[in-house]
Amino acid sequence: MSSWLEQLERELDARLSAFLRNNPVQDNLFSEQHLRDRAGALQRQRQQLQSEAKQQRQQLLRLADDVRGWRSRVDRARAAGADELAKRAEQHLSSLMNQGRALWADLEDLGRRFNEVERQLGELVQQRQTPSPSTLEKDWALFEAEQELDQLRRDSGLT
C-alpha cells in the first residue's frame, strides 16, 4: 500500500515539475504563493511565540512575588526560633527558585526560537526583493515566448 502511494506521489511530483517547467508564468505564480504561504506561517508562529513569552514573563513575575513572600516567611520563622518551620519554608523556597530557573530557561529558548523565525522572515523578504538567477531565466523565457507569440500574430495578420 505504501509503495503504491509513494509511486503515485512521485508521478504527480514529476508531472507538476514538467508542467511548471513548460509554463514559467504558472511556475512564478506557484513560487510566489509558496513564499506568501511560508511568510504567513512564520508570522503566525512569531505571534504564537510572542504570546507564549508574554505568558512566561507573567508567570515569572508571579513566581518572583511568591519567592519574596516565602523569603520573608523564612526570616520571620528564624527570628521567632521556629527552626523546623524555617527549614521547611526554605525547602519550599528552594523549590520555587528551581521553578524560576526552569521558567528562565524556557523563556530563553522561546527567545532563540523567536530569533530563528525573525531570521527566516528576513530571508523571505530578501528573496522577494532580489530575484534569483532561476527567476531571471524564467522571466527571460517568458519574454521570449511573448515575443515569439507577437511575431506569430503579426505573421498571421492577427494584429
User: Tell me: the pLDDT tens digits for 86-134?
Assistant: 999 999 999 999 999 999 999 999 999 999 999 999 998 887 776 655 6
Residue by residue, DSSP assigns 134-155 as HHHHHHHHHHHHHHHHHHHHHH
Q: Compute CA 38 distance to the chain's CA centroid, rounded to the nearest angstrom.
A: 9
125, three cell numbers: 523578504
Q: Does the pLDDT at position 153 exceed 90?
A: no
Q: Does the pLDDT at position 135 exceed 70?
A: no
- For residues 135 and 139, the model is more confident at 139
Give the pLDDT confidence score for residue 32 in this predicted structure: 83
Q: Does the pLDDT at position 159 exceed 70?
A: no
